[in-house]
Structure 1
């Protein structure tokens, strides 16, 4: 029996450029403990601690962090995070050199210099309390960006492949997506899956799924 409530958005708030930035990592309950999906900007660990406590978990319950891609707002807290836990770091092969420091981040800044323990690829599936969680390769926003499909929960964890800046599902942010044609094809890929809800890193959880994703792809492909 699956539990669709076993996926939790963890909103983190930061002051940036004179305004508020809210981002949405996730925690997914599994038989082994929690998998965190991304960990936020530097300084996010205390906010993450509060979320874990609210869920009834501690750092010892986190066995893995799955990185959707290497942008700083997704991995900036990895060094502090790994000071709190022995969790394994999962990321796509194409993202690994930007995370471990062999290459500079595509969009500038410094690498977090954290080793990746397990490289993942399209089709890899994790067993979770919300049913199977499948890795879907969605490059374009970054070379190895991945999204996560939980079909039993009718849920897509989109990372930055989709956004919901005003509470409505939208395409990737073109300003921060170097390969927009590739990102558009990734939206087409996501439109092939049957989901009712989408968790966006920028915008949070929205009650929109396959039909909206297909509409977005049509608009981007025009």
Structure 2
């Protein structure tokens, strides 16, 4: 789904234990470079390549992958992407996420053995042997990557220890990762059931104060484009009251 010029929200589909699910990585590009924010579950490389082709962006143009955090549905297809690219693609993440992404520590929200047994075999395999891949460069709060008009990292911990969101400065698009969701036509705060530290996650929403996005992309729920500025401000006001 086209967000604005040079920004596409990908819609990756999977069949989960609770029915169909949609995951929404963000593709940003210009004449030289393409940047992918998050990578879906394992096995979604083909969907990503097809979505890039449909957007008119050759897979060979991919220069970097930015991971908002370590969760399986965000890092899942990273190893396959790096293998298919054959080099030349750098991976960015926050330092607190690096050991989990690289496999030095088990994923923060790995399921306990009892829960694993209740999952379908293919899902069980993902959690039992999560993907891992290198992180080339570490992102700091406020750092601006010199791609596609500037991509600013915003440190928004809570969902995980080192969760980040991204602001596309030239396009005025906020990519939230899992810092918030879009549901029932409205921006909403972090989902407690899948959030490591709810209190910190709610406090992190204030890091978006002062932004005036024309669109907000949530990894779960998708694109908020209608009254995005007003919706974001309303969410921040509600969060400040908690």
TM-score of the aligned structures, taking structure 1 as reference length = 0.92
Matched, 1:15 2:15: yes
Equivalence for 1:88: 90
In the alignment of these two chains, the number of paired residues is 219
Residues 33 and 147 in structure 2, CA contact (< 8 A), matched pair in contact too? no
Unaligned runs of 5+ in 2: 111-126
1:68-217 alignment, distance < 5 Å: 68-85=68-85, 86=87, 87-108=89-110, 109=127, 110-129=129-148, 131-207=149-225, 208-217=227-236
Does the 8 Å contact 1:92/1:145 carry over to 2? yes
Q: Distance in 1 between matches of 2:228 and 2:209?
A: 8
**More displaced, 53-62 or 16-25?**
53-62
Residues 89/151 of structure 1: CA separation in 2 closer, same or farther (3 Å cut): closer
The Cα shift of 1:92 comes to 0.6
Other-structure match for 2:238: 219
Deviation at 1:128, TM superposition (A): 3.7
Shift of 1:134: 0.7
CA distance in 2, matches of 1:134, 1:22: 25
When structure 1 is superposed on structure 2, of 74-83 and 107-116 the one drifting more is: 107-116
Q: SS of 2:46's equivalent?
A: helix
Decide which structure has the larger Cα Rg and report it. Answer: 2
Q: CA deviation at 1:67?
A: 0.4
User: Is contact 1:184-1:217 (8 Å) kept?
Assistant: no
Residue correspondence of structure 1 range 7-86 to structure 2 within 5 A: 7-30=7-30, 32-85=32-85, 86=87
Deviation, 1:214, is 3.0
Counterpart CA distance in 2 for 1:154 and 1:122 is: 18
Gaps spanning 5+ residues in structure 1: where? none
